[in-house]
Amino acid sequence: MTQADRPSGFATTQLHAGYVPGTPEYTVVPPVYQSSAYAFSSLTEAREKFALREQGYIYSRNSNPTQAVLEQRLAVLEGGVAAAAVSSGQAAVALTTFALLGRGGHVVASSQLYGGTVDLFGDTFGDFGLEVTFVDQDDFDAWRDAVRPNTRAFFAESVANPIAQVLDVASVAEIAHEAGVPLVIDNTVATPYLLRPRDFGADFVVHSATKFIGGHGSSLGGVVVDLGTFDFSAEPEKWPGLFVPHWRYGDVSLWEAFGPERAFITLVKSKFVGDLGTALSPFNAFQLITGLETLDLRIARHVDNAKTVASFLDRHPAVGVVFHPSIGTNPWKGVARTYLPKGSPSVFAFELVPSEEDAFARVERVVDALRTIRLVANIGDARTIVAHPASMTHNHMTPGQLAAAGISQATIRISVGLEEADDIVADLEQALARA
């Protein structure tokens, strides 16, 4: 095996995949190709590229060389065959499910999801004639029973935001495959450093790259990764978007034109990103690539800090329950041992002990007293941040949906950052004194 053939480790891949210096300037860092469009050397070249018979850049809504580095790097880190970088995590979730469901499709989704995804599936999907059934992700019979003739995907988060329920990915993947549909995993909270869904049978991964991938709270972005494991050709009639020849692609099917490895990602990019306009800006792609370069180092520290903070919260008299898999009584501790051998993510939640007083008022007193820790509607920042899901990120959800997701008025979400663990604990301690 030559040096060039050697499979690289995670840290090497996160620094090098998708970019070989080769522009005339030989920049060692992937450049920001801040250009809306690309010049063609001839009209024939333009015609061939527009007809998708020749590969190459046309317009940055469809593709861009800086986006391409991010796509290739994340595809390798997730063990996939192709990826599409898009404007946000929300776009990654929406476009993946639109592309899989086609017209009149149905998704079986976990009830334990980020609030924006619940809004998309539970509300906006209906506007487009798409259907959803939410199930408790730990109830395997519920996944099985929810399948209908028009089901085209299963969807869940590997580690759910905000309660950190850990999904038994392999069991849900098996049920999805029995039903002849792919399992899509939102791997935002875990990241491929802690968990690779492909290793447990998942077929697609989506990311809000806004979070740990960027890692510094500066840029929105999302990525869809085709893990190359789902055989669409087993039942081509279920996937007309891939198998029916279409005038948009010169009267051939995407499967015929691009093959199993690129057909789905081409559908996402050339149809959905192109038509709906959810392109990732080259500058944001650059920021996300830079963030990726230190993913393993940052996540290792996030994990260590989170464990320290969870243990402190667990011992604090004002805290009733801490939803972190390192805590002895956590229901997902066993599943986490299988799926998260390097440790549990730093996004989790805790609840104040019940009292006569209104939960919102008590949470507000604690949150408003924080000094280093900020109240922010985000996760995966380098800084430690908290949120109150019931009134912020998950505020559109009905009381029933909140209960199904495990969220109450007393729930505080924390995304533990990279500060000194002692400083995070000290800030929480002085704030919890007001509970």
Ligand X SMILES: Cc1ncc(COP(=O)(O)O)c(C=O)c1O
Q: Are 34 and 283 in contact (CB under 8 A)?
A: yes
Q: Does 90 bind ligand X (CB under 6 A)?
A: yes
Nearer to ligand X, 80 or 89 (CB): 89
Q: Which residue has the tokens 């487009």?
A: 128
In the complex, least distance from residue 380 CB atom to ligand X, rounded to whole angstroms:
8
Contacts of 419 (CB under 8 A, 6+ apart): 305, 372, 383, 384
In the complex, least distance from residue 208 CB atom to ligand X, rounded to whole angstroms:
3
The contact mask relative to ligand X for 179-218 (x = CB under 6 A, - = no) is -------x-xx------------------x-x--------
Q: How far is CA 221 from CA 9, 93, 100, 132, 287, in A?
A: 25, 12, 21, 25, 10
Structure tokens, 375 = 């109240």
Nearest residue (beta carbon) to ligand X = 89
Pairing of strands 374-375, 347-352: unpaired
The contact mask relative to ligand X for 141-160 (x = CB under 6 A, - = no) is ----------------x---
Structure tokens, 194 = 């802690």
Instruction: List the one residue out of 175, 220, 222, 168 whose CA is nearest residue 197.
Output: 168
Q: Does 116 bind ligand X (CB under 6 A)?
A: yes
Residues contacting ligand X: total by CB under 6 A: 17
Q: Does 100 bind ligand X (CB under 6 A)?
A: no
In the complex, least distance from residue 78 CB atom to ligand X, rounded to whole angstroms:
15
Q: Does 408 bind ligand X (CB under 6 A)?
A: no
In the complex, least distance from residue 347 CB atom to ligand X, rounded to whole angstroms:
8
The contact mask relative to ligand X for 301-340 (x = CB under 6 A, - = no) is ----------------------------------------
Footprint of ligand X on residues 70-89 (CB under 6 A)? 88-89
Q: Are 196 and 74 in contact (CB under 8 A)?
A: no
403: phi then psi, degrees, rounded to nearest 5: -60, -40
Q: How far is CA 362 from CA 358, 359, 365, 407, in A?
A: 7, 5, 5, 16
In the complex, least distance from residue 83 CB atom to ligand X, rounded to whole angstroms:
15
Using CB under 6 A, list all residues that contact ligand X.
88-90, 93, 114, 116-117, 157, 161, 186, 188-189, 208, 210, 220, 222, 379
